[in-house]
Amino acid sequence: MCEESVEQCCIAIIAKSKLIPADSVTRERTFEELEIDSLDKINISFDIEDAFHIQIPDESISNLRTVGDIVDGVLRLQQHAAVEPAGSAL
């Protein structure tokens, strides 16, 4: 999936989770600006994992600060999964 598609999907998931218009969510927006708390982050992470068939390490969730952090993380995990043999864990 290309970066633009990943970004659009992540934005849609965040917007749906917070019941806000997708056009108000950009890569640069912080979770604080979007009023995303730690529980929201966990729920959004679950939705992201389901959407992209990836596993986000628990310790990485607390480091997420912006929408761009999520997009970049998904792209890294997809790239990592593409080079890992089937059945390998992160």
Return contacts of 24-28, CB within 8 angstroms, 24+ apart.
25/67, 26/67, 27/66, 27/67, 27/68, 27/71, 28/66, 28/67, 28/68
The domains of the chain, with CATH numbers, are: 3-82 (1.10.1200.10)
pTM of the predicted model as reported, rounded to 2 decimal places: 0.85
Distance CA 58, CA 80 (A): 17
Degrees (nearest 5) of the Cα angle 2, 83, 3?
10
Distance CA 13, CA 17 (A): 6
Segment 14-56, tens digit of pLDDT: 999 999 999 999 999 999 999 999 999 999 999 999 999 999 9
